[in-house]
Amino acid sequence: MSLDITKAATWKSSSTKVAKVSNAKADRGLATGVKKGKATITATLSKKSGTATLTVSE
């Protein structure tokens, strides 16, 4: 069984100079590239978290 927790989680980027991720109600979890590089995106819910590497190229 899977459950989409996108709107319930709190989101964070390790480098907002590379990528920003929204916590606004309308677009929570939406990551936006800012400049070339890599950032770790973290989702946290109920003291549990998961990460993914986001690579921004040109």
Cα–Cα distance measured from residue 54 to residue 46, given in angstroms and rounded to the nearest whole number: 23
- The separation between CA 24 and the C-alpha centre of its own chain, rounded to angstroms, equals 12
Cα–Cα distance measured from residue 48 to residue 17, given in angstroms and rounded to the nearest whole number: 25
Q: Is the pLDDT of residue 23 over 90?
A: yes
Name the percent of the chain lying above pLDDT 70: 100
> In this predicted structure, what is the pLDDT of residue 18?
98
Q: Is the pLDDT of residue 3 over 90?
A: no
Cα–Cα distance measured from residue 45 to residue 15, given in angstroms and rounded to the nearest whole number: 20
Cα–Cα distance measured from residue 42 to residue 10, given in angstroms and rounded to the nearest whole number: 8
- The one-letter amino acid code at 34 reads V
Instruction: Quickly state the pLDDT bin for 17 (edges 50, 70, 90).
Output: very high
Name the percent of the chain lying above pLDDT 90: 90
